[in-house]
Structure 1
């Protein structure tokens, strides 16, 4: 039971790392292939997200180990295993994903013009004639 609850919490936090952290990183630092550990940490704190699963945030937005990842005890081997776990869940097993691929998972829900997918706009226009 406890294992299930821990997995649930971790998966929810990873979802927040994708939907909230990713756009915040892009807004603060621009679109990149990977972000630095300090950029990830500062952004997590700035947007008030829990840092308990920081290793997963790093695995999502960084593909190479660095001095900062080693300081967090995230070796390249451990980073690769976390990335493989994330790849299985979000990228159909493709573990060569980059930060911009993670950002691609976030879809905006607002309609931004263009042709309506459900035909409601054309129906309303036809009714006005």
Structure 2
């Protein structure tokens, strides 16, 4: 089922492709395949990969290592902003995570990662919940 519902043209991990391009591609697909046809939006996973960084390439728009992370952050923000203006938004859950913990294993499983639900999911007036996290808002 996953294979049948995978877009094999979508650019996978390649830091030569800006995440802005991936965001644009995703938004065009949602518009064409779901918004125009009024079909329900299925659960999906999208990978925007430039949070890893690569070689500094000023001529390609990456004058600093942090430029890759900025590209990734902006792409994520554009996707969330786009989805927030669709009819699907009121029933949507967005979970943003990373593919690895970014460091060596310690006293906690090395496969852990940050995962934050979008604040829209939290009922109004509810407090916060924390369980073995290093940060809470």
TM-score (norm 2): 0.28
Instruction: Work out which of the two has the higher radius of gyration on C-alpha atoms and give 1 or 2.
Output: 1
Normalised by the size of structure 1, how large is the TM-score? Answer: 0.29
Q: Which has the higher strand share?
A: 2
More helix by share: 1
Greater relative contact order (Cα < 8 A, sep 6+): 1
